[in-house]
């Protein structure tokens, strides 16, 4: 199958999932074409079966902002015609699904279905900016297929937008051969806690610093902060204020998390909201127990007390307490680590999830002439 994939190429969950999906599909014999304004952060264009098509946006004095959505639609239609794409798969509703709809309408010589995958903030942030509500709802209704990454996201989308269109839940996935435990690497040096995010306020990175300061009262540990974003500066300032700056490393954006995660003893994910929790899944595959918050789609992934822990959002004391337990109780750590790895292998490994996408592609491509669902009348 020839598949066009569009995502945000920057450091974030939706782009990472889209990139990993494309690379896994290429390994399974599909021809994958990435269409975006920049090369996605984890994409190696030299991978067999992978093609990258840059979207160039011209600037004109007439436009205050470059018309990326229109340029993307034109590029999608061009690539679809030139390479005879079977479908488009866009990640993140706005503006990618609208661009895909335009590309579909521009393609007159054959049917070009498109699938929209909803990742989280493309839905949850609509609630804070009502101006995007009509266009987001329209893009979902006009999609030939819609998927999302957790049961929480499916319910939230249906309730918030009132759409009848079926939404397929296909969870995020992890390559269990690439992300795997490394006991030798973990045994070297002090106990290490890892946080991975784009350092936006919703990730509550300051809670990582506050919890770590409490952990330091009980364990000689260090905190590794991977990623970057607007809250990095405030986090660095808080580390100095709490006098733990010597034990906190800010690494910035990292391209090879499979090398970093296995060296860790625990992952801390204190987010206000997580549509799924990809960082937690990658840690679990490496046998690194996650301490996360009870929010969003995280319960789709973590079973509390079995393969990780979930505590209330903002309860820094409870989160710190779980981290201390994991870092001081070897038996507990080993038990949770083994269960976490087992969860990744038996529920979220690529060999289980990628075929779900393949079957969904086949279903959407076979639905020629099927009318799109209408919205629920209010």
DSSP per residue, 189-221:
SSEEEEEES---GGG-HHHHHHHHHHHTTT--E
In three-state secondary structure terms, 378 is coil
Q: How far is CA 344 from CA 171, 280, 285, in A?
A: 11, 10, 5
Rg value, the chain, Cα: 21
The reported pLDDT for the residue numbered 127 is 53
Q: Which residues of the chain have pLDDT under 50?
A: 369-378
How far from chain centre, in Å, is Cα 32?
Answer: 19
The reported pLDDT for the residue numbered 370 is 45
Q: Comparing C-alpha atoms, which of 126, 131, 133, 138 is closest to residue 165?
A: 138
Q: Comparing C-alpha atoms, which of 93, 100, 116 is closest to residue 360?
A: 116
Q: Are 289 and 332 in contact (CB under 8 A)?
A: no
Q: Per residue in 223-251, is it b (16+ CB within 10 Å) or e — as a string?
A: bbbbbbbebbeebeebbeeeebeebbebe
The reported pLDDT for the residue numbered 373 is 40
In three-state secondary structure terms, 311 is strand
Sheet arrangement for strand 248-252: 248-252, 221-226, 191-196, 266-269, 290-293, 309-311
CB half-sphere exposure, 308, CA atoms < 13 A? 35
- Cα separation, 342 vs 319, in Å, equals 23
Residue written as tokens 């509550």?
Answer: 204
The reported pLDDT for the residue numbered 378 is 35
How far from chain centre, in Å, is Cα 370?
Answer: 30
- Cα separation, 291 vs 57, in Å, equals 42
In three-state secondary structure terms, 79 is helix
Structure tokens belonging to residue 330: 């070897």
The reported pLDDT for the residue numbered 11 is 62
Q: Domain 183-348 carries which CATH code?
A: 3.40.50.2000
- Cα separation, 118 vs 167, in Å, equals 10
- Cα separation, 194 vs 366, in Å, equals 44
Query: What contacts 220, CB < 8 A, 6 or more positions away?
Result: 190, 191
Q: How far is CA 296 from CA 131, 241, 306, in A?
A: 24, 31, 19
The reported pLDDT for the residue numbered 374 is 39
Residues of the chain with CATH 3.40.50.2000: 2-173+351-365, 183-348
Q: Are 181 and 287 in contact (CB under 8 A)?
A: yes
Structure tokens belonging to residue 375: 């919205």
CATH homologous superfamily, domain 2-173+351-365: Glycogen Phosphorylase B; (3.40.50.2000)
């Amino acid at each position: 199958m020839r598949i066009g994939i569009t995502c945000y190429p920057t450091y974030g969950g939706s782009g990472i999932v889209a990139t990993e999906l494309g690379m896994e599909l290429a390994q399974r014999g599909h021809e994958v074409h990435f269409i975006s304004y920049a090369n996605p952060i984890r994409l190696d264009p030299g991978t067999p079966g992978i093609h990258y098509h840059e979207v160039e946006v011209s600037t004109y004095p007439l436009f205050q902002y470059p018309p990326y959505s229109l340029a993307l639609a034109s590029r999608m239609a061009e690539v679809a015609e030139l390479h005879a794409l079977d479908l488009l798969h866009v990640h993140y509703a706005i503006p990618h699904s609208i661009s895909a709809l335009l590309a579909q309408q521009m393609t007159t010589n054959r049917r070009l279905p498109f699938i929209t995958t909803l990742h989280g903030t493309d839905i949850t942030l609509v609630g804070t900016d009502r101006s995007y509500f009509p266009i987001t709802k329209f893009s979902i209704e006009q999609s030939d297929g819609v998927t999302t990454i957790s049961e929480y996201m499916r319910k939230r989308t249906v309730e918030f937008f009132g759409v009848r269109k079926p939404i397929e839940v296909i969870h995020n996935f992890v390559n269990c051969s690439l992300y795997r435990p490394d006991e030798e690497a973990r045994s070297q040096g002090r106990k290490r806690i890892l946080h991975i995010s784009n350092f936006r306020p919703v990730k509550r990175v300051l809670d990582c610093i506050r919890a770590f300061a409490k952990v330091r009262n009980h364990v000689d540990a260090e905190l590794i902060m991977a990623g970057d974003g607007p809250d990095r500066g405030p986090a660095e300032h808080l580390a100095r204020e709490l006098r733990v700056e010597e034990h906190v490393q800010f690494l910035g954006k990292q391209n090879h998390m499979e090398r970093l995660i296995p060296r860790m003893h625990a992952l801390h994910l204190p987010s206000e909201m997580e549509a799924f929790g990809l960082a937690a899944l990658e840690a679990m595959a490496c046998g690194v127990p996650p301490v996360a918050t009870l929010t969003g789609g995280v319960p789709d992934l973590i079973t509390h007390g079995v393969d990780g822990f979930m505590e209330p959002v903002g309860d820094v004391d409870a989160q710190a307490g779980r981290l201390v337990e994991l870092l001081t109780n070897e038996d507990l750590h080993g038990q949770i680590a083994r269960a976490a790895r087992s969860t990744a292998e038996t529920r979220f490994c690529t060999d289980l999830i990628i075929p779900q996408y393949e079957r969904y592609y086949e279903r959407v491509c076979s639905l020629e002439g099927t009318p799109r669902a209408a919205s629920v009348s209010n």
